[in-house]
Structure 1
């Protein structure tokens, strides 16, 4: 399916709303077979089609009663960090109700978009939106930060709603809070959060924090890896994990892994990236030779035609000219880490 939004309709009037919406917001319209036209995807059981499609789409719109939508999606809900957006629209097209995953999933935005497109009233019930104050999960998402413990979000948002100012430790300035000074204030050290009712740390480093402090991880580190032919994934992972641990790095802050294209068929390299959950990008020798590395290798130059693989690949990914964690090597693997420029 090319679209990320699925719309479901059970009645003839609902089908008309679904088709109109599908055209306006680039969605797939699933319509009960007796009311389906050539532009719809027909189904015979809403329960079965939702079960089949729930994880396939990023957003779901039910042109049904809210109760029907709730019963259909209930078995598949996991958490606010994973659930897709769910919006309910009545068959008259008068209301667009944000039902599930209002912030991280984007249901609030989708409800407003639908309302704007068909002249409906958006119904948003998340507390921060109703109160007109910032939501921490939305701020983190919009600025590309990874949320550590999603369960702490409700405590941060509750404190904001109660009128508290939240202390934030953000040494590299990855969280832009300009315009929100009445809700947040900066602290110089992590220990400055110890006496506070709650707090936020925005950092690529691993910290020992109290349970009341929320960690947000900037995606700012790139991983460069080199290896000899036939090295298994376990050997690559062992060195990567060792380097990450020694430098007190949070894995959540690593956004990509890179190497030379001569290794693009290395099963160990491919498997290691998959286990780490990282996209793997390969560069040609010409591209890597554009980067000046601090630890060149004559052996690598002889066999690969480049001065170095791991440092150059890491810097290429981060688009920087200095390495952050220089090459570390085991018997058959090399690893380096680069860091994107701070704000």
Structure 2
């Protein structure tokens, strides 16, 4: 499956509209068997098809009645940060309704795009869009910031809707707020947040947050890992979690993980990266040997032909000259963290 969007149609008119949308959106079209064309993926049960395909696509467009769609997707909805976008289009193509994941999933944008493609009126009901104010979840997404506790978004957006400015503690100046000066103001003192209705912290460091303060994590840290052969994922994860915990680092700010290419078939390392949701990148010994590490190892040089793996991999990923968290060892695993410059 290469398409990111699925379109579903239940009627003859709906099939025509689905074909039009599938061509313009480069989407897969699922059409009830009796109305399906050669280019469609036919189905006999919408309920079974949605159950099978809901988690496989980033967006779903239903040319159907809203009530039917709600009943079909309800069992599979989890959270606004993971649910795919869902848009409902009537078979006449008059309206495109953003139903689920309007902001983070992109359903609002998709409804507008469908409107442009077929002349439908986008129907968008998220409060910030209706009021013409920004939403902190979209700001975070657009600036590549990971949202901490997604349930706190509502407090920030409610303040925007009430015309109140929200304090932002951002020691590294990561969040670009110049375009949102009517909604945010920067503070240098973390304590200010506890005195405010709500607030935002933008940092790769962990903080004990006051109530209604939302953490946004910049994707600025890289993780280097080395291990002996056959080490299981849980042993690798144990050291990683110990390193971030002991150094006050937010795991959500780590954006990638690296090691030497001699470990590219190491099942435990691959599984650990998957569990953490990190891209795992391997470097050759020659690439890692270009990096001057803080803690060279004669043993690693003997077996791998480099002065170090974890520090060099972390620094290579970050394009950094210095290590943020030097090599930390357990019995069979090493880990280090660097910060992008």
1:318 maps to what in 2? 318
Q: Does 1:309 align with 2:309?
A: yes
User: Structure 1, unaligned stretches of length 5 or more?
Assistant: none
Q: Does 1:234 align with 2:231?
A: no
Residue 303 of structure 1 deviates from its aligned partner by 1.4
Stretch deviating more after TM superposition (160-169 or 209-218): 209-218
Distance between the aligned counterparts of 2:18 and 2:174, measured in 1?
40
2:168 maps to what in 1? 168
Residue 157 of structure 1 deviates from its aligned partner by 0.3
Distance between the aligned counterparts of 1:257 and 1:158, measured in 2?
37
1:129 maps to what in 2? 129
**2:174 aligns to what SS in structure 1?**
coil
2:111 maps to what in 1? 111
Distance between the aligned counterparts of 1:155 and 1:61, measured in 2?
30
1:7-34 Cα deviation digits (max 9, x unpaired): 0111111100100100001000111111
Distance between the aligned counterparts of 1:200 and 1:182, measured in 2?
15
1:153 maps to what in 2? 153
1:16 maps to what in 2? 16
2:203 maps to what in 1? 203
1:213-270 Cα deviation digits (max 9, x unpaired): 1111111111101122333333322322221111101111111111101112223322
Residue 135 of structure 1 deviates from its aligned partner by 0.4
Are 2:194 and 2:211, in contact at CA under 8 Å, matched by a contact in 1? no
Stretch deviating more after TM superposition (329-338 or 49-58): 329-338
Q: Does 1:193 align with 2:185?
A: no
Residue 290 of structure 1 deviates from its aligned partner by 1.9
Stretch deviating more after TM superposition (232-241 or 183-192): 232-241
Residue 278 of structure 1 deviates from its aligned partner by 2.3
Normalised by the size of structure 1, how large is the TM-score? 0.96
Distance between the aligned counterparts of 2:66 and 2:235, measured in 1?
52
Aligned residues between the structures: 341
Are 2:323 and 2:338, in contact at CA under 8 Å, matched by a contact in 1? yes
2:95 maps to what in 1? 95
Distance between the aligned counterparts of 2:264 and 2:274, measured in 1?
13
Distance between the aligned counterparts of 2:52 and 2:270, measured in 1?
29
Distance between the aligned counterparts of 1:295 and 1:77, measured in 2?
48
- Aligned residues: CA RMSD: 1.3
Distance between the aligned counterparts of 1:249 and 1:206, measured in 2?
5
**1:168 aligns to what SS in structure 2?**
strand
